Amino acid sequence: EGKALSKAAPDHPAGFIMTGVSLLALDRNDEAEKSFREALAISPGNPVAAAKLANVLEARKQYAEAELVYKSI
């Protein structure tokens, strides 16, 4: 559903967020990160996309970047 939504409404972050969440569940973190960054490009400061991206960064031990993302919320 997320990919279909992101194609149908490319100016809305929800499809990218849904896709990212699905990718996280599949342990495809690199692709999930890309989806969350795409959502943030469309909607800077989106709290859901930012929190999910920060979670991915924390899992990679990229704490400084994760902190910056959290502060953007």
Of the listed ranges 4-13, 32-41, 54-63, the one predicted with least confidence:
4-13
The reported pTM is 0.85
Residue 62 binned pLDDT confidence (cut-offs 50, 70, 90): very high
Q: How does the average pLDDT of the chain come out, rounded?
A: 90
- Counted residue by residue, the chain has a size of 73
The answer on pLDDT for 1 being more than 60 is no
pLDDT of residue 5: 52
| Distances 45 to 12, 19, 23, 27, 63 between C-alpha atoms, Å | 13, 18, 21, 24, 18
pLDDT of residue 12: 85
